[in-house]
Structure 1
Amino acid sequence: MGVPEEAERLVSGGAEDVERAAEAALRPKRLDEFVGQRVVREQLGLVLEAALARGRAPDHVLLSGPPGLGKTTLAMIIAAELGTSVRVTSGPAIQHAGDLAAVLSSLEENEVLFLDEIHRIARPAEELLYVAMEDFRVDVVVGKGAGANAIGLALPPFTVVGATTRAGLLPAPLRDRFGFTGHLEFYEDEELVRVLERSAGLLGVDLHRAAANEIARRSRGTPRIANRLLRRVRDWAQVRGDGTLDRAAARSALEVYEVDEIGLDRLDRAVLHALCVRFGGGPVGLTTLAVAVGEEPETVETVAEPFLVREGLMGRTPRGRVATTRTWQHLHLRPPPSAPTLFA
């Protein structure tokens, strides 16, 4: 099981399928509907337009960046812009070369193969993917032992769209086979407001500009989180309010869902509180910090830590994690004399 992405913490596990369906309904279907990522959109548009003009499948595309910024959405848009279908799988699902060979051999001409979490694909399958991406063929091994025989199977032209949150884990031979690489950046608040206004229109709700600003400010620069918070504010307004999505409704709803003024949620605050109160501001090891908050180390490192470091609320040193001056200020705590001052 992969570690849940940071936005997954805003809903209960039993509602995941409903939430994913809601997310899919709000996804833009074409490139000109996609908000934000101006540079990647322009570059990708050129790649697709040129491929259509030539009547050929475009180069393979690698999309990297933190979770929730639109990598899956862009993969779907690529297929839509090309007028073709998309085959979806993920790195963790491909543990053997045979798994990948089965997928590749069933692809149709110009089809898009979306490989999510491509950095987690198994090494034997990875080597098979090299050949398939470059030469459009796959070697199928028939038989076992000394009698085994490799049969080369030609593949129709297709386009791999790989998505990764950890581009540094991709081996160079695999990265080199992508003709276009786009890195998605966190969104500015104004871009998130545009995302929210579009989503509110699709949901059929009247979202006040002040409420959109409030939600955007707490969405960690991530459209997926912004859309989820919008749906939670809508729920609050429907059940406890008068149906109006104004700033007061947004603030009240986000207080119920424990999302504070800068987007920290329960896990974030638990990590920071343990770091400051239990460990005097650090330095403290990742495993020790995770045990203190009752989470797996990978969850703290992958889900909470990136945002906390980006916001200047946590520092990473060779000796462990440390609190910063902003951490103490945000928690309204006074640092002890022994607290580290490296990041003060």
Structure 2
Amino acid sequence: MTESQPLTASASEPEERALEAALRPKNLDDFVGQQRVRRQLSLVLEASKIRGRTADHVLLSGPPGLGKTTLAMIIAAEMNAPLRISSGPAIQHAGDLAAILSSLSEGEVLFLDEIHRMSRPAEEMLYMAMEDFRVDIVVGKGAGATAIPLELPPFTLVGATTRAGLLPGPLRDRFGFTGHLEFYATAELELVLRRSAMLMDMKVNSAGFAEVAGRSRGTPRIANRLLRRVRDWALVHGIEQIDARGASEALDMYEVDARGLDRLDRNVLHALCTKFGGGPVGLSTLAIAVGEETETVETVAEPYLVREGLLGRTPRGRIATAAAWAHMGLAMPANAVLAAGQGTLGFGPDDGDDQD
């Protein structure tokens, strides 16, 4: 594992991806958590089967690792339909989308991950495809261009996005069902871990599950990844049943602390507190101080630190909260108290970046 890929990051090696696929639930009954979305989605799919029609288009939004891809696979399985998988970044031209759509079979489920990153021409083509099941293929250029209509078989589009606000309104409105996935409670993550441990033939007691779940950032993908690292630790140390102490020792070795913070998270807080007196400090300056790219700090570390109330974003830059000083075991100076009192923990429009 490289320093730029902490254990709690979303990137994974091919072996990890293969194991993650094996741990994915295959139907809605096995899918843990997200009860509201599950109930609503189950109703949509059941009604479609009763009518004998393809299911309405589905948009799934929420942070990474909560099960959007898994739900897309479950939708295809519940509808007894084949699944085609692509992503927004892979569709940069209308022709790319036309090639995919024209090869779909009737009732097929098309899953587009990160759908908000599609190009605008492809988005505009998708409008007509979703609503009327047809696309216009433009042949030629300029005054001699001709639009050839191409009829499409009925299909179900499942779009996934981590940033629903970036989707244009006309595209959002064409989805028949929209579900937003929330972070998991610790008790729900324990259920996820119990199922995964059974599939991996691991012996873990209740306290061990609770220890891993508490460090998993409310995200099943991270919980399963941490459980696999605990399994490796137990295998090397010859431990048959994992308890809270064993899980804690294993995850401490992988630098994931009791609150779920990894090396990058702690480096950000340590630099903010010790080098900049708790802030405010600009994002690019903070990134340089921890030796990471600005985007890495902003997209990997910052969201969780803000959600945990450890870091705030203000018009003048990032600040460490009182909870951050306490978590790092540092005394909070008076000027940091004043700065924290003027901060905000949100991602509002007045959030500043750099006063470098």
Q: TM-score, normalised by structure 1?
A: 0.95
> Are the equivalent residues in 1 in contact too, given 2:127–2:170 (CA < 8 A)?
yes
The 3 A distance-change label for structure 1 pair 13 and 338 is: closer
Counterpart CA distance in 1 for 2:8 and 2:341 is 36
Q: Which residue of the partner structure matches residue 146 of structure 2?
A: 149
- RMSD over aligned CA atoms reads 1.7
Q: Which residue of the partner structure matches residue 60 of structure 2?
A: 63
> Are the equivalent residues in 2 in contact too, given 1:241–1:249 (CA < 8 A)?
no
Secondary structure at the counterpart of residue 157 of structure 2: strand
Tell me which amino acid in the other structure corresponds to 2:196. Answer: S
Q: Which residue of the partner structure matches residue 3 of structure 1?
A: none
Gaps in structure 2 of 5+ consecutive residues: 344-356
> Are the equivalent residues in 2 in contact too, given 1:258–1:266 (CA < 8 A)?
yes
Aligned-residue offset at 1:240: 1.7
**Corresponding residue to 1:133 among 109, 130, 133:** 130
Q: Which residue of the partner structure matches residue 168 of structure 2?
A: 171
Counterpart CA distance in 1 for 2:288 and 2:262 is 18
Q: Which moved more, 1:62-71 or 1:8-17?
A: 8-17
**Corresponding residue to 2:296 among 291, 294, 299:** 299
Identity %: 70
Paired residues for 1:1-344 under 5 Å: 9-10=6-7, 16-339=13-336, 340-342=339-341
Q: Which moved more, 1:7-16 or 1:211-220?
A: 7-16
Tell me which amino acid in the other structure corresponds to 2:38. Answer: R
Counterpart CA distance in 2 for 1:12 and 1:178 is 30
Tell me which amino acid in the other structure corresponds to 1:230. Answer: L
Counterpart CA distance in 1 for 2:151 and 2:12 is 43
> Are the equivalent residues in 2 in contact too, given 1:64–1:164 (CA < 8 A)?
yes
Tell me which amino acid in the other structure corresponds to 2:251. Answer: L
Counterpart CA distance in 1 for 2:135 and 2:11 is 40
Aligned-residue offset at 1:286: 1.3
> Are the equivalent residues in 1 in contact too, given 2:61–2:162 (CA < 8 A)?
yes
Aligned-residue offset at 1:291: 1.6
The 3 A distance-change label for structure 1 pair 121 and 305 is: same
Aligned-residue offset at 1:14: 10
Aligned-residue offset at 1:243: 2.9
Secondary structure at the counterpart of residue 335 of structure 1: coil
Q: Which residue of the partner structure matches residue 354 of structure 2?
A: none
Counterpart CA distance in 2 for 1:303 and 1:15 is 14
Tell me which amino acid in the other structure corresponds to 1:20. Answer: R
Q: TM-score, normalised by structure 2?
A: 0.92
Tell me which amino acid in the other structure corresponds to 2:326. Answer: Q
Segments of 4+ moved more than 6 angstroms: 11-15
Gaps in structure 1 of 5+ consecutive residues: 1-6
Q: Deviations over 1:156-180 (max 9, x none)?
A: 1111100011111111111101110
The 3 A distance-change label for structure 1 pair 127 and 85 is: same
